[in-house]
Amino acid sequence: MPERTRKRRRRAVRLRRGEAIAAGFALALFVLMFFAWYGSEVSGQVAEIEFEGSGGTAWQALEGVSLVLALTVVVAVGAVALRVAGSGWKPAVPLNAAVAVLGGLSTLLVLARILVPPDFGTLGGVAVEATPRLPIFLSLGAAFGVAYGGYRAMREEGSSFAAVAESLQPRREKPASRRRSPSSSG
């Protein structure tokens, strides 16, 4: 067997199950962001009317939240891409921890937008209310899946949030007055 083929086989990286879960749910979240998350309900003084397709996708209705969701997708898929490529890059915050945190934040943001939908305002004195639709609930599950996958990948690599927090703390040296010098002992 040629040496070149052996090197390729040695470099082949096996994807952790948690990383695969996070990336799969991240891609699902990305696709779901293009579906209508909200329908519109118009309520006036005389009658209530509901009309289809007038709501908004995550991109249209959520402004800043959609950017956090997109960042979550990019980090989750990027972590897998770097692992598959065999990259030796070690960021200050491990990528799987970042995926878990961003997935958790995304879950909370989507849940908040389910509980408090965006305000579509008024149209000629008639209030237009947003009503959550199925894709936002599926997106909530996908965001949770990203968080779970990131956390599971952290556990699979033997990491924890406490270890990550400790690694981010600045190293403190003992003050010079407390250090023992070789001439003062004895």
Residue 59 makes CB contacts below 8 A (sequence gap 6+) with 33, 34, 66
Show me where the domains of the chain are located.
36-156
Q: Which tokens hold the place of 5?
A: 């083929």
Q: At what angle do helices 64-85 and 17-32 cross, to 10 degrees?
A: 140
pLDDT in tens, 129-171: 778 899 999 999 999 999 999 999 999 988 888 888 888 788 7
pLDDT in tens, 33-91: 999 888 877 665 545 554 444 567 788 777 788 899 999 999 999 999 988 888 778 88
How far is the C-alpha of 103 from the C-alpha of 116, rounded, in Å? 20
